[in-house]
Amino acid sequence: MRRLRLCVVGAALCCLLFGGCLQVKARGAAGKPTEGTADVNGVDFSEYARVEAELAEQAQRISDFETRLAELEAQKGGTTVPDEPTADTLSPSDPETIYRYTVSDDGYATITSYLGAEETAVVPSSLGGCPVAAIGEEAFKNGSVASVVIPNGVRRVDWFAFDGCHRLASVTVPNSVVTIGYGAFDLCAPTLTFTCSEGSYAAGYAKSYGIAVREP
């Protein structure tokens, strides 16, 4: 009787094994993972390979994009002048030595930083033979200037241009200025006053931020 049971159990095991082999073959024929890619506990390793390939492709695209972006940024800025000024070459009488700036493709200069130590900064109307059209982002940030004179022809004062200039109490703003960026005069002296024409863009900006206005 025991021998008969063993025979029955053996036959059942053979059927199970044979049925499993048929199932694997059927799955392989249906285009699902076969040897080398068969799933384990329901995990399809061929799907992993596909996802990894897509990730590698995306990483290459991002790398190409960053390279192109760096090239565009290099072209956008134009030529910076002066290249590397030192304390020995700074001269209040020569704006080229105390202002760094970039030149756009259409020939306008944007001031990017002020290197002078004078209390009064008189922004030049031109640099390198190019008209100054803008005071760039953070150009005077955290500086020690107490007074700034912006010449006619400048159209923009960009974001945070004079942010943190705690001593800055007087700014002369011409009618040509039609844009003053966010935070351009944050954290300046409490007595900050704009010298500008009534009805100008600068006058409207000053009133909206609680800055005193004085007629030229």
Q: Are residues 65 and 111 in the same domain?
A: no
Q: Are residues 177 and 197 in the same domain?
A: yes
Check if the beta carbon of residue 126 is closer than 8 Å to that of residue 102. Answer: no
Query: Residue 132 forms beta bridges with which residues?
Result: 109
Structural domain range at position 130: 87-214
Residue 34 lies in a domain: no
Enter the DSSP assignment of 60: H
Residue 8 lies in a domain: no
Q: Are residues 99 and 162 in the same domain?
A: yes
Q: Are residues 121 and 62 in the same domain?
A: no
* Top-confidence residue, 196 or 44: 196
- Other CB atoms within a 10 A radius of the CB of residue 46 amount to 15
Phi and psi (nearest 5°) for 28?
-65, -40
Three-class SS state of 172 = strand
> What is the model's pTM?
0.59
Residue 22 lies in a domain: no
Range list of β-strands (E), 104-211: 109-114, 120-122, 126-127, 130-135, 147-149, 156-157, 170-172, 179-180, 193-195
Q: Are residues 95 and 184 in the same domain?
A: yes
Residue 205 lies in a domain: yes
Give the integer Cα–Cα distance in Å for 191 and 128: 34
Q: Are residues 204 and 102 in the same domain?
A: yes
Domain count for the chain, please give it. Answer: 2
Q: Are residues 127 and 64 in the same domain?
A: no
Q: Are residues 68 and 151 in the same domain?
A: no
Cα separation values, 125 from 108, 110, 131, 151, 155, Å = 11, 11, 6, 6, 11
Residue 142, domain CATH: 3.80.10.10
Three-class SS state of 156 = strand
**Chosen domain end from 76, 97, 126:** 76
Give the residue ranges of DSSP H helices in 30-150. 45-76, 95-98
Residue 7 lies in a domain: no
The residues near 153 (Cβ < 8 Å, ≥ 6 apart) are 125, 131, 132, 133, 174, 176
Q: pLDDT by residue (tens digit) across 78-118?
A: 544 444 444 445 555 588 999 999 999 999 999 999 999 89
Q: Are residues 72 and 123 in the same domain?
A: no
> pLDDT-derived band of residue 67, with 50, 70 and 90 as boundaries?
confident
Q: Are residues 106 and 158 in the same domain?
A: yes
Give the integer Cα–Cα distance in Å for 202 and 196: 7
Q: 159-172 as b/e, with b when 16 or more CB fall inside 10 Å?
A: bbbbbebeebbbbb
Residue 68 lies in a domain: yes
Angle (nearest 5°) at CA 150 between 149 and 152: 130
Give the integer Cα–Cα distance in Å for 206 and 201: 9
Q: pLDDT by residue (tens digit) across 116-152?
A: 989 999 999 999 999 999 999 999 999 999 999 999 9
Residue 170 lies in a domain: yes
Residue 20 lies in a domain: no
Q: Are residues 56 and 142 in the same domain?
A: no
Q: pLDDT by residue (tens digit) across 25-63?
A: 444 444 444 444 555 556 566 777 777 787 887 788 787
Q: Are residues 106 and 185 in the same domain?
A: yes
